[in-house]
Amino acid sequence: MSVLDGLRRTLTFVRFSHTVFALPFALGSMFVAARGFPSARVCGLILVAMAAARTAAMAFNRLADWEMDKRNPRTAGRHRLIPWGGAVALCAGSAALFVAAAWALNPLCFALSPVALAAVFFYSLTKRFTSLCHFFLGLALSVSPVGAWLAVTGRFALPPLVLAGGVVLWVAGFDMIYATQDYEFDRREGVHSLVARLGIARSLRVAQMLHGVMFLLLAAFGVAAGLGAIYFGSLVLVLGALVYEHRVARRLDLDAINEAFFTSNAFVGVVFMAATWADTYLGRYFCQ
């Protein structure tokens, strides 16, 4: 197997393309905390920390679900991408890289790095005992905007905490939509999820409510962070993407749900990131 093929398999194993969900909220938080761009060093370390933490979390998730994934038709091929030992090494190495990046950022980030790793790892265990596992996934991803803010400022503040709440509800909502694909398998295997507990139709309604509150929290973040017209205008695009995702989900077409899941949520993240940058950088430039 060539180096390029091994890299491709590894990136597929951890679904590296889905980094686009959490990364924009970390970068958006970074832009607001720095009122533009921080130094190249801080920006680079935030990117390394984000990629390393997510890779460690996904590798841990694959290890935790190794046998279960073999029985699920949708995930049956995952364990063939890299061997068990390779997955362990990937998880440990990525976790170590995350801690090293946190150490290089500032003492608070380094001190909290084990807490962040515990949060992103714990999600993988929750589906075994609670139907609220979707919210724990949201909690894992909500670490990113708080961590980025701490990386820039070295202290806690209200805006990233409000944004983290929005991320929790956003992720929980879209994870419930995604989990409709595994409804029959989860019920058969006894996997805990709100979809398995409530059924598909009721779960989709709950996801709609979660995304409605998430939208309000994005607006509250703009107020708390002192953002302006560029940011608030972009929320119209975010709302449109959420409405599109839920319209597709109601059709219960699994192929369409998969496509809408990635497209609409990636769009939400990119719009948020672009809007925070434009508002903090371009807005400040044109208002001078």
What are the residues whose beta carbons fall under 8 Å from the beta carbon of 114, sequence distance 6 or more? 99
Q: How far apart (Å, rounded) are the C-alpha atoms in residues 119 and 95? A: 12
What are the residues whose beta carbons fall under 8 Å from the beta carbon of 273, sequence distance 6 or more? 23, 24, 25, 27, 28, 31
Tell me the pLDDT band of 105, cut-offs 50, 70 and 90.
very high
Predicted confidence at residue 286, as pLDDT, reads 52
- Domain 16-283 architecture: Orthogonal Bundle (1.10)
**Each residue's pLDDT tens digit, 205-256:** 999 999 999 999 999 999 999 999 999 999 999 999 999 988 888 776 666 6
Q: How far apart (Å, rounded) are the C-alpha atoms in residues 105 and 53? A: 15
Predicted confidence at residue 147, as pLDDT, reads 96
Q: How far apart (Å, rounded) are the C-alpha atoms in residues 179 and 274? A: 29
Tell me the pLDDT band of 284, cut-offs 50, 70 and 90.
low
Q: Are 160 and 146 in contact (CB under 8 A)?
A: yes
Q: How far apart (Å, rounded) are the C-alpha atoms in residues 99 and 193? A: 31
Predicted confidence at residue 254, as pLDDT, reads 67
Q: How far apart (Å, rounded) are the C-alpha atoms in residues 248 and 255? A: 10
Of 77, 28, 35, nearest to 50 (Cα)?
Answer: 28
What are the residues whose beta carbons fall under 8 Å from the beta carbon of 186, sequence distance 6 or more? 179, 192, 193, 195, 196
Q: How many residues does the structure list for the chain?
A: 288
**Each residue's pLDDT tens digit, 179-214:** 888 788 778 877 788 998 998 889 999 999 999 999
This model's pTM is above 0.75: yes
What is the DSSP secondary-structure string of 31-59? HHHHTS---HHHHHHHHHHHHHHHHHHHH
Tell me the pLDDT band of 84, cut-offs 50, 70 and 90.
confident
Predicted confidence at residue 213, as pLDDT, reads 97
Q: How far apart (Å, rounded) are the C-alpha atoms in residues 163 and 84? A: 36
Domain residue spans in the chain?
Answer: 16-283
